[in-house]
Amino acid sequence: MSPRVWLVTGANSGLGLALVEHALAQGDQVIAAIRNPASIPDSIKAAKPLTLDLNASDSDIQRAGKAALDIYGRIDVLVNNAGYCLTGYVEEVQDADIKHEFQTNFFGAISLTQSLLPAFRSQRSGYILNLSSVAGIDGHPPFAMYNASKAALEAMTEALHTELLPFNVTALIIEPGYFPTNFWSSADASRIPPARLTGAYPETDSLFNTMPKKKLEEKQVGDRRKAVARIFELVSGTGHYAQQSVNTKFVRVVLGPDAGTRIRSKLKLILENVDGTEEVWRSTNMDEETLEKYARGEY
Ligand SMILES: NC(=O)c1ccc[n+]([C@@H]2O[C@H](COP(=O)([O-])OP(=O)(O)OC[C@H]3O[C@@H](n4cnc5c(N)ncnc54)[C@H](OP(=O)(O)O)[C@@H]3O)[C@@H](O)[C@H]2O)c1
């Protein structure tokens, strides 16, 4: 099937830009959603631009989704890629900043997806790819709100995946590890201003200097061109995905050995947690007598 029509948010930078460049190079058609039309890079001039700010109102986002649909009459692959990382300890982050983070990473993606779901259902094909992060499963400080927004996106996508299976539409969670993009500089810029810092958590500042350096030392640095090639192969059933029979229950696309390793350790920890407390969680069911009362509506 070719050419596919992609709608990619956050198309002017990082993973989104690399994906648009790759899809165009493969002969697909792309609608590049960006919040500032002036920032569309020359390398994706062949894409159709769509102005979209995920912090706009729900109705504005839905209108943009419908406008995108009108461009080619269909969308085959929606990539909810745009996002950023709010940095700050739970005690210190401000309410408005938390809401902004969730609006961009979670609510905005939902509004856009909702505007396209009727079309996806009626065409009975397509992909919805939601960019989460390894942080959605294994989050660290001082990124609690970023972690939470991605965890929310993951939980929503898991249910969406099941909802859409009967319609032959595949909703997936894309879970990258560390890929150098503008992500870290924007995370740095989002840091709470010093005036709001309590000084109770002195570790924050060093992180931005040490993280990319640490990743380089560990040789755990992702190549965004390879990441987007894997995403393209997944959708087109080519390359690394050509011979794989992907279980339809698989909902996660893990990208990067750092992400895969961290997720494995986290799952091991969760399993140890559940196994280690089995006596506790097995102790909370109703006994026979209470169960009978419950059945009679007397509980
Ligand atoms: N890079 C990594 O290591 C990494 C790891 C895990 C997950 N991710 C996820 O991958 C996705 C892409 O990030 P990236 O690494 O490519 O970072 P990036 O280079 O900073 O790109 C982020 C994109 O999101 C856009 N964006 C931010 N807020 C927006 C809003 N309110 N409305 C519309 N667009 C908005 C940005 O637009 P502007 O240019 O206008 O700001 C930019 O195009 C994100 O969801 C991120 O959480 C990245």
Burial of 219 (0-12, 13-18, 19+ CB in 10 A): exposed
Contacts of 179 (CB under 8 A, 6+ apart): 14, 15, 221, 222, 223, 224, 227, 255, 256
On whether both 295 and 244 belong to a single domain, the answer is no
Give the pLDDT band of residue 254 (cuts 50, 70, 90).
very high
CA distance 278 to 272: 10
How many angstroms separate the Cα of 76 from the Cα of each of 2, 153, 240, 246? Answer: 10, 20, 20, 19
On whether both 147 and 273 belong to a single domain, the answer is no
Across residues 158-168, what is the average pLDDT?
A: 97
CA distance 183 to 167: 34
* Residue 132 among the catalytic residues: yes
Phi-psi map region of 127: left, alpha, beta (phi>0 left; psi -120 to 50 alpha): beta
Residue 1, pLDDT above cutoff 70: no
Cα 276 to ligand 1 centre (Å): 38
Cα 45 to ligand 1 centre (Å): 19
What pLDDT is stored for residue 206 in this prediction?
65
Across residues 101-119, what is the average pLDDT?
A: 98
- Contact 88 CB / ligand 1 (< 6 Å): no
Cα 296 to ligand 1 centre (Å): 54
Q: Which of 111, 115, 127, 132 does the annotation list as catalytic?
A: 132
On whether both 209 and 298 belong to a single domain, the answer is no
Across residues 220-228, what is the average pLDDT?
A: 96
On whether both 165 and 289 belong to a single domain, the answer is no
What pLDDT is stored for residue 137 in this prediction?
98
Give the pLDDT band of residue 9 (cuts 50, 70, 90).
very high
CA distance 132 to 8: 14
On whether both 226 and 294 belong to a single domain, the answer is no
- Contact 103 CB / ligand 1 (< 6 Å): no
* Residue 122 among the catalytic residues: no
On whether both 123 and 31 belong to a single domain, the answer is yes
- Contact 182 CB / ligand 1 (< 6 Å): yes
* Residue 150 among the catalytic residues: yes
How much is the mean pLDDT over the chain? 94
- Contact 256 CB / ligand 1 (< 6 Å): no
Across residues 16-20, what is the average pLDDT?
A: 98
Q: Which atom of ligand 1 is nearest to the CA of 174?
A: 7
| Number of domains within the chain | 2
What pLDDT is stored for residue 250 in this prediction?
92
On whether both 167 and 264 belong to a single domain, the answer is no
On whether both 152 and 29 belong to a single domain, the answer is yes
- Best CA proximity match to 30, nearest among 67, 65, 72: 72
Across residues 208-235, what is the average pLDDT?
A: 91
- Contact 82 CB / ligand 1 (< 6 Å): yes
Across residues 29-38, what is the average pLDDT?
A: 95
Which run of H or of E encompasses 50?
strand 48-51
What pLDDT is stored for residue 205 in this prediction?
64
Give the pLDDT band of residue 259 (cuts 50, 70, 90).
very high
Which run of H or of E encompasses 215?
helix 204-217
What pLDDT is stored for residue 263 in this prediction?
98
246 vs 49, more confident: 49
Give the pLDDT band of residue 226 (cuts 50, 70, 90).
very high
Give the pLDDT band of residue 204 (cuts 50, 70, 90).
low
Residue 286, pLDDT above cutoff 80: yes
What pLDDT is stored for residue 240 in this prediction?
85
Q: Which atom of ligand 1 is nearest to the CA of 36?
A: 40
On whether both 204 and 265 belong to a single domain, the answer is no
Q: What CA dihedral angle connects 68, 19, 255 and 224, to 10 degrees?
A: -150
Q: Which of 150, 178, 190, 215 does the annotation list as catalytic?
A: 150
Residue numbers of the domain that contains 117: 5-255
- Contact 181 CB / ligand 1 (< 6 Å): yes
Query: What sign does the dihedral 6-81-55-212 (CA atoms) show?
Result: negative
CA distance 50 to 48: 7
Q: What are the structure tokens assigned to 184, written together? A: 């870290």
Across residues 242-266, what is the average pLDDT?
A: 89
On whether both 179 and 274 belong to a single domain, the answer is no
What pLDDT is stored for residue 214 in this prediction?
87
Residue 178 belongs to domain with CATH number: 3.40.50.720
On whether both 120 and 171 belong to a single domain, the answer is yes
Each residue's pLDDT tens digit, 54-85: 999 999 999 999 999 999 999 999 999 999 99
CA distance 187 to 150: 15
Cα 146 to ligand 1 centre (Å): 12
Across residues 93-108, what is the average pLDDT?
A: 97
Give the pLDDT band of residue 210 (cuts 50, 70, 90).
confident
On whether both 189 and 266 belong to a single domain, the answer is no
